[in-house]
Amino acid sequence: MANHENKHCPRCNMPFECKVGSILLCQCQGINFTDQERDYIRLTYPDCLCRNCLMVMKREISTTPAQKKMRTILEAIKKGKH
């Protein structure tokens, strides 16, 4: 049986259905992030984001200021782990 979960997006608070048990049917399917982008989102938000926010994050992450912020956060985390 598929594991579906009703959630609220931590970025916009809109409800959505997470289909972690059927990942190919999940609302996040088809949005591709680099490992660095994925890490940034995971470190910035405590849970899954809705599809709309994922698409907005994808566009935002591609901007130069967001790239710098992302690098700074990820570098700080790396330094803290070593």
pLDDT average, residue stretch 46-51: 92
In angstroms, the CA 69 to CA 27 distance is 27
- Rounded alpha-carbon distances, angstroms, from residue 68 to 5, 20, 40, 53, 61: 34, 31, 11, 20, 9
Classify residue 81 as exposed, middle or buried by CB count within 10 Å of its CB (0-12, 13-18, 19+): exposed
pLDDT at position 3 is 66
pLDDT at position 69 is 78
Indicate the pLDDT class of residue 14, thresholds 50, 70 and 90.
very high
Range of the domain at 34: 5-81
CB atoms within 10 A of CB 40: 21
State what percent of residues in the chain have pLDDT above 70. 94
pLDDT digits (tens, 9 = 90+) for 71-81: 787 788 778 75
63: tokens are: 């901007």
- Tell me how many domains the chain contains: 1
